[in-house]
Chains A and B, each alone.
Chain A
């Protein structure tokens, strides 16, 4: 009973922690108790719950899922909803599914826990703590603390295969869960006679959509005594491996090894492939990118410090050059993605980091190359392989910040390896 009470009382976290950033409907309602009785009524036009649109706390994102098998658009909301229980949220799921199906506007609700409920459980007794601690994924809630501290045996990263997400250990204990997507922008084609008619090309990044198309993904995992890997295939030309090394000295970082190409252009559409890392960090539209590996510059969405900005390009206008690192932070932690080469990057959605990895375009952008950015080898588009390191650092912990800076240089100046065939025996060696 106590265990159920315990779970009940921390269920916001429990679900949030367990289901990462794609939380399901009931958590949205559970956050605001008074709404739990009233089913969420979705307005036909806006896709929002018009009674309390102002506090809806979710945003309507146009993410459209493309099922790579038969290229059919899936309505993801039904997937997210299909195996939910009705009891906690008292939301009439069937009605909601019907509404969403009719509405066909709300494609996906992202939810950020705007407030962290302080849990005021009386301290658990010894044997209760022991009972709870046998569960490998147990959370320990320290009544006096706001933060839910995840107890994980080694502070090595781990991941969830079913609902793919990565648990990046906090340097101060606990972890943050990050889900990831690969997506593509369709490139704009124009006659280059005016800025608003430019093609996306070697000098110009200009998508002709306002939201990227997100690939579906299928993941499998490999585990062993040195490294655990989560391998995800998005489509035949986009895949990645998430690597978490088990070694006690290889902690607090995750390696993403991505392989992209050859990008198909039979549909005569230029494509720009991006990686997206989604966390539930609240960064208020601010992010940091390094300029030429020197200082980190603060960037703010749709804003320039020097002049009043009106953006014609809501996506490209918020992209900045990333030489080694892009990061977002809240009042406690900094989530960084370290790149192994220069890439374009942005944070277009709260808690998200987006990096452009590979492009294949079909038109020149009239800035002088006189050639589309369509490099080929063997008459096929280039295959590109690279990697990102995900690091989480504690802004109040100097060692953690030094660790992050060293990781950045270690990523850039990686050990060089050379190999030699030999016939000598091990003893002679």
Chain B
């Protein structure tokens, strides 16, 4: 509850009209960002513990879960792991029939396994140059692995298992967009 209380009190501070509309000085805006990102990171710990608890049939499953900077298409886990898991949480009170998932990766061949063990179709899309060149972005991801997660229950989780296909040699960075090549 401490972590969740921390996020609640930070959101309390963010009700100030400056935080809502941006009529504060730049260094105050930066302080708001600092408070909010620390509080959200704390709350992710709670989510991570919940997922571990749900996943372990009273064994000790202890995955280190991380939140990623998807808004700048960067994710340390998915860029550097040969094998990783994605847990998707649906915060709504109704089932989501289809969720487009975009995971920042380097250019390799990936295989995504759904909870029922089936492989699901994916597409590798190059990240736009304008995103890659954002000065504050620190990421090696050059592509996004796109797939569609279907039927995620209300307030429910769904985990996917992603692995680099065994016999894929890490491709040097190529400017040509793969889709065109495959076509």
Residues of A within 8 A of B (CB): 202-203, 222-227, 229, 231, 233, 236-237, 239, 241, 243, 245, 247, 249-250, 255, 259, 261-262, 342, 367-371, 373-378, 380, 383, 385, 406, 409-410, 413-424, 426, 429
Inter-chain contact A418/B92, CB cutoff 8 Å:
no
Which B87-120 residues have a C-beta within 8 angstroms of A? Answer: 87-92, 94, 96-101, 103, 113, 117
Which residues of the other chain, A, contact B135 by a CB distance below 8 angstroms?
A: 262, 377-378, 380, 383
Which residues of the other chain, B, contact A369 by a CB distance below 8 angstroms?
A: 23-25
Inter-chain contact B128/A225, CB cutoff 8 Å:
no
State how many angstroms separate the Cβ of B163 from the closest Cβ of chain A: 7
Which B145-180 residues have a C-beta within 8 angstroms of A? Answer: 146-150, 152, 161, 163, 177, 179
Contacts A383-B136, A423-B83 given; does A223 touch B179 at CB 8 Å: yes
Which residues of the other chain, A, contact B81 by a CB distance below 8 angstroms?
A: 421-422
Contacts A224-B123, A250-B98, A426-B163 given; does A420 touch B25 at CB 8 Å: no
Which residues of the other chain, B, contact A249 by a CB distance below 8 angstroms?
A: 97-98, 148, 150
Inter-chain contact B23/A418, CB cutoff 8 Å:
no
CA distance A411 to B70 in the complex (A): 15
State how many angstroms separate the Cβ of B15 from the closest Cβ of chain A: 12
Inter-chain contact B65/A385, CB cutoff 8 Å:
no
Inter-chain contact B25/A371, CB cutoff 8 Å:
yes
Inter-chain contact A375/B161, CB cutoff 8 Å:
no
Q: Which of A227, A342, A383, A418 lies in contact with B51, CB distance below 8 A?
A: A418
- Besides A226-B121, A233-B130, A419-B66, 13 more A-B contacts (Cβ < 8 Å) are A223-B183, A249-B98, A250-B148, A255-B100, A369-B24, A378-B136, A385-B134, A414-B91, A418-B65, A419-B68, A419-B85, A421-B81, A422-B85
State how many angstroms separate the Cβ of B182 from the closest Cβ of chain A: 8
Inter-chain contact B125/A419, CB cutoff 8 Å:
no
Render B57-84 as a binary contact track against A, CB cut-off 8 A, 1 for contact: 0000001111110111001011011011
Contacts A369-B25, A419-B77, A426-B163 given; does A342 touch B20 at CB 8 Å: yes
Q: Is B131 an interface residue (CB 8 A)?
A: yes
Inter-chain contact B84/A224, CB cutoff 8 Å:
no
Q: Which of A375, A377, A421 lies in contact with B84, CB distance below 8 A?
A: A421
Q: Is B26 an interface residue (CB 8 A)?
A: yes
Look across to chain B and name the residue whose beta carbon is closest to the beta carbon of A387: B71
Which B11-42 residues have a C-beta within 8 angstroms of A? Answer: 20-26, 29
Inter-chain contact B87/A231, CB cutoff 8 Å:
no
Look across to chain A and name the residue whose beta carbon is closest to the beta carbon of B85: A420
Q: Is B9 an interface residue (CB 8 A)?
A: no
CA distance A373 to B24 in the complex (A): 9
Q: Is B86 an interface residue (CB 8 A)?
A: yes
Task: Determine which residue in A239, A367, A422 has the highest number of CB atoms from chain B within 10 A of its CB, and name it.
Answer: A422
Q: Which of B92, B100, B113 lies in contact with A429, CB distance below 8 A?
A: B113
Task: Determine which residue in A224, A250, A370, A415 has the highest number of CB atoms from chain B within 10 A of its CB, and name it.
Answer: A415
Inter-chain contact B83/A422, CB cutoff 8 Å:
yes
Inter-chain contact A409/B179, CB cutoff 8 Å:
no
CA distance A385 to B101 in the complex (A): 17
Contacts A222-B126, A226-B148 given; does A422 touch B63 at CB 8 Å: yes
State how many angstroms separate the Cβ of B26 from the closest Cβ of chain A: 5
Look across to chain A and name the residue whose beta carbon is closest to the beta carbon of B94: A406
Which residues of the other chain, A, contact B99 by a CB distance below 8 angstroms?
A: 415
Q: Is B48 an interface residue (CB 8 A)?
A: yes
Q: Is B10 an interface residue (CB 8 A)?
A: no
State how many angstroms separate the Cβ of A261 from the closest Cβ of chain B: 8
CA distance A252 to B66 in the complex (A): 33
Which residues of the other chain, B, contact A223 by a CB distance below 8 angstroms?
A: 179, 183
Which residues of the other chain, A, contact B98 by a CB distance below 8 angstroms?
A: 245, 247, 249-250
Contacts A416-B88, A420-B87 given; does A203 touch B123 at CB 8 Å: no
Look across to chain A and name the residue whose beta carbon is closest to the beta carbon of B124: A224
Q: Is B3 an interface residue (CB 8 A)?
A: no
Inter-chain contact A413/B77, CB cutoff 8 Å:
no
CA distance A423 to B66 in the complex (A): 16
Inter-chain contact B88/A415, CB cutoff 8 Å:
yes
Q: Is B139 an interface residue (CB 8 A)?
A: no
Look across to chain B and name the residue whose beta carbon is closest to the beta carbon of A227: B146
Inter-chain contact A222/B125, CB cutoff 8 Å:
yes
Which residues of the other chain, A, contact B65 by a CB distance below 8 angstroms?
A: 418-420
Inter-chain contact A421/B64, CB cutoff 8 Å:
yes
